[in-house]
A = this chain, B = another copy of it.
Amino acid sequence: MASPDKAKRGIPSKEDFNLWYPAIVEIADLVDKRYPIKGMDVWKPYGWKAMMLIDGLTRAEMDRTGHEEYNFPLLVPEDLLEKENRLVSLLKKAREEGVDPDELRLDEEEAGFKKEVYWVKHAGENELELPMFLRPTSETPMYTMFPLWVRSHGDLPLKTFQIVNTFRYETKQTRSFIRVREIHFFEAHTAHKDQEGADAQIEEDAVIVQNLLHDLCFPAIVSKRPVWDTFPGAWFSNAVDVVMPNGRTLQVATYHHYKDQWAKAFDLKYEDTEGQSQFCHQTTFGMSERMLGAVVGMHGDDAGLIFPPKIAPIQIVLMPVAQHLDEDVIPSINKIADTLKSAGYRVKVDDRDLRPGAKHYDWEIKGVPLRLELGPRDLKSGQFVLSMRTGGKASHDVDELLNVISDSLDATESELRNRAAVHMEHLVLDFPGIEQSSDGWKLTKPLEDGKVYQLAFDGNDSDAEILEKATGLTFLGDCIDSYNEPQPCAVTGRMTTRKQHLARMY
């Protein structure tokens, strides 16, 4: 039931996700969209803090896995693209030799990339001799430097990452965190001795993503993208898709196996133990502010955001009750706040002179996991009242403070994971089936709007096209979690354990 306060703040019902999402990111004060360039929002402190906490989790994973943080220049001289062009030629040649059949696609993507960048052709009052562009991603600037750093097998593996702003000249409709023109971006780039080294990196990336998803409290579908949706120059691309409440999938991470394709283009070689010159094998791994978009979309409700505790800018808000009636409440609540801060929690004391209801709604909207209240009566009984943003309210002994807080944050995480799992169950349905009739392929049952369909599929490109055409949906690719038991392929009927998803992608 919408309270007058909520109505006043103008939060649409989450049922209408396409209205709710753009409204909540501003109402919860994550960003301000009124900056005069479309698709370039101003990050407000609350949103930026959440993003930095996500970056912190990412950095911890990078540290655990021995990646080192670099920071490369934003501007890329146009002539470095020639190496990328050489890569395309190389792949063309490979196709002619029957190794890689995807040359035409790559050629188109290459042109597409040029279409997507911002160009710097002027500085001061001068026209630059050599135009530069704002990085959309950093293969080109990084792989220009890698050959200077890699000489022998002792220099490998080279495991680098950076967290930077990247730019895309989006022509599609922009959406905060989801489709923006200045992107807060994470990218890891690695170089290895051989294909096995790069294979192992791809496995490590998969674990890193799962660790992050665990902390952010939602599941995702991990798929090996179909060939036609593979990053240009990649041997294969694995993508991580979150199913948003409107049933559209949001790609929040990708990791690509490049084999030695880019190394050949950028002449990235090393001397092996036998003194022979070898090309490196490379991988990349990208994530972005979309991860925060997924957090907003997955966990929020009609009352506002719900932040997973690990990235909540404020984990516990403390409120004095009847503060004017009892002078001891404020010092006591500050003492509790200090205890929590010392234990490493992110807390805020809200002693604004507002009625409690107004405060509650504010922190509900902002998705603070726990609310701790203390009044004169609690003070006498040595207790405090704790409310969870996910529901539930109880009194606890102040002596038990740290245990109660720790348990309640754990409980919040579990509850969010449960809800996200239930949400996935409702959004990801079994594909009803398709059959051939006299006037072509027909679904055996109409599809529901706003759902993702999973199916056994073992067909070829034209079988896939049949399904995409009949459903109006897109293949995410081969799911990493295949079926335990073979199932009949939706088109060919052949038994297969290959699981695929048909979805509408963001």
Contacts and interface: CB of A to CB of B under 8 A. Distances in A.
Contacts of A71: 42-43, 48, 184
A123 interface: yes
> How many monomers of this chain does the complex have?
2
Given A42-B70, A45-B69, A36 B124 contact: no
A60 interface: no
Contact of A145 (B42, B117, B182, B184): B42
Question: How many A residues touch the partner, as a band?
Answer: 35 or more
Contact of A124 (B34, B43, B73, B116): B116
B123 A35 contact: no
A19 to B, nearest CB: 22
Interface string A37-56: 10011111100110010000
A155 to B, nearest CB: 13
A74 B181 CA distance: 11
B123 A120 contact: no
A352 to B, nearest CB: 10
A48 B134 CA distance: 21
A273 B171 CA distance: 46
A462 to B, nearest CB: 32
Contacts of A45: 68-70
A133 to B, nearest CB: 9
A119 interface: yes
Contacts of A171: 124
A93 interface: no
21 contacts: A32-B145, A35-B72, A36-B80, A37-B75, A41-B73, A42-B70, A42-B73, A42-B145, A43-B72, A44-B70, A49-B69, A52-B69, A71-B184, A73-B182, A74-B167, A114-B124, A115-B124, A115-B125, A119-B120, A120-B120, A165-B165
Interface of A: 32, 34-37, 40-45, 48-49, 52, 68-75, 77, 80, 114-125, 132, 134, 141, 144-145, 148-149, 164-165, 167, 169, 171, 182, 184
Given A116-B124, A121-B122, 19 more contacts: A35-B73, A36-B77, A36-B80, A42-B71, A42-B73, A43-B70, A43-B71, A43-B72, A52-B69, A73-B182, A74-B167, A75-B118, A114-B125, A115-B124, A115-B125, A119-B123, A120-B134, A123-B169, A124-B169
